[in-house]
Amino acid sequence: MTNIKEKSDPPRLMDELKGQMNPSFDVMLIPLQIEEEAAFLLYLKTTVDGDKLQNVIIKPFFEMQSAQHYGAYIQSSPDIIEIKSNEKILLELTKGSVLIAVQHQFFLVDVKKVNSSSVQQTLMEPTVYGPQQALSEDILTNLNIIRHRYKEPSLKIEIVELKDKTHNDLAIIYDEKTVKPDILKSIRKRLKELDAPLIQSAGELQLYLNGKRFTLFPTLMLTERPDRICYNLDAGKVILMIDGSPHALIAPVVFFDFMVSMEDNYHLFWITSFTLVLRYFGLITCLVLPALYVAITSYNPDIFRTELALTVAGSRIGVPYPSFIEVVFMLIFMELLTEASIRLPKAISATATTVGGLILGTAATEAALTSNIMIIIVSAVAISSFVIPINEMSFSIRFCRYILLAFTTFFGTVGFILGFLGILMFLINKESFGEPYLKMYWKSRRSEKGVKSE
């Protein structure tokens, strides 16, 4: 066996790079040598795929006739990366590349280990009909899924590298035929100006791209469904995907996009129309019902019919405080139950929240801390808030509910009307990458794209 000291010395560049990465335990600088032919590999053991390294990089060296042939073989690899600078080499080594030195030439080959390429089932946006598979955490797997579903030559994918400490790849995906150039330019500009220390998920990227630090309504949509991505690509929107995140961002979006479920595309027209009406009814109920209860019971009980007014008044006998405190008390506990159902393990969350809600509601009614009608209203509000298909919009509406409740508590029915108009005006003035947030698609899709009818 040849002693390691008798082998050729590694190139100076590799020694320097290894010195910069020391004292990391996983830095490997190994020689490959047969007689006078030699090559050197530098990589991080914890980031590379061991099998791929052995079969694609190491094994061919001992099968080739000469180092020159081995260099030509490495140069023809589809995973080869262009070497621009020493800093670029260091960065690529941390991502899972291996630096190969052969006959005074250096090659950088991607052999990264991917442990997160498995495609997940839909969790955030489940449907009865339609595809059940979601995205994965590996960006190349996600791009493969999109390419498999959207086979248009006009589909363009640009890869940029984030400037934060993760240096993750970010894919900008659009259909060249349908995308609006101004929107694409605006997104590119905002990504270029991005200044964040660490971005690890699409949700985090969404916060930085919203444009304003304090914003209530999302201007990008977070999705996990490949079919929603394809529909939006066809509609001329831009998709952003970040490596390591199983979600994608859609931009621009308008308010009404958040009320559409993917299942709407798989049902018959009248069924879809009926579910859409139900969804908007749930939206209005979730937003206005608590404030409306306070406005009518505390300020204008004469709006009710006499029998109903007496029923409401009878149910509140013994409740020691005004209706708005009763409403806030019950809504806060409902929010706590919702949060608990999300944070608890799945095996006990449903049981714990159901039992907690039943016991809390019964005990609060028997203790005269709240009325029976209030329990009905809170239950209706809770159910209604869950019919909004996209969670981000559901959270925004839940927050707006308290704003409307505050206006009504201080100014009565007039405050309720002013608060509702204020929320409406806020939405009218809001934009998503230049698109009006309350834009209604009364035009046909062909008309919006500027396609003239023959």
- Residue 334: other Cβ atoms inside 10 A: 19
pTM, full prediction: 0.83
User: Phi/psi of residue 209, each to 5°?
Assistant: -90, -10
pLDDT score at 5 = 43
pLDDT tens digits for range 354-403: 777 777 777 777 787 788 888 888 889 988 888 888 988 999 999 999 99
pLDDT score at 450 = 53
Range in 140-144, 152-156, 275-279, 321-325 with the lowest mean pLDDT:
321-325
Asked if 224 contacts 245 with a C-beta cutoff of 8 angstroms, the reply is no
pLDDT of 332 higher than 60:
yes
Please give the distance of CA 44 from its chain centroid, rounded to a whole number: 30
pLDDT of 442 higher than 90:
no
pLDDT tens digits for range 217-242: 999 999 999 999 999 999 999 999 99
**Which residues lie below 8 Å from residue 110, measured CB to CB, with a gap of 6+?**
79, 80, 81, 92, 95, 96, 97
pLDDT score at 175 = 92
pLDDT score at 232 = 92
DSSP symbol at 122: P
pLDDT tens digits for range 107-151: 999 998 887 778 888 888 888 888 888 899 889 899 999 999 998
Q: Return the percent helix, strand and coil in the chain, to nearest 5.
A: 55, 15, 35
pLDDT of 3 higher than 60:
no
Task: Spell out the alpha helix ranges (H) of 344-371.
Answer: 346-366
Rounded-to-integer distance, Cα 336 and Cα 353, Å? 9
Range in 21-30, 114-123, 171-180, 198-207 with the lowest mean pLDDT:
114-123
Rounded-to-integer distance, Cα 43 and Cα 27, Å? 6
Residue 237 tokens, joined: 């929107």
DSSP for 227-254, please give it: HHHHHHHHTT-EEEEETT-S-EEEES--
pLDDT score at 1 = 36
Mean pLDDT of the residues in the chain: 86
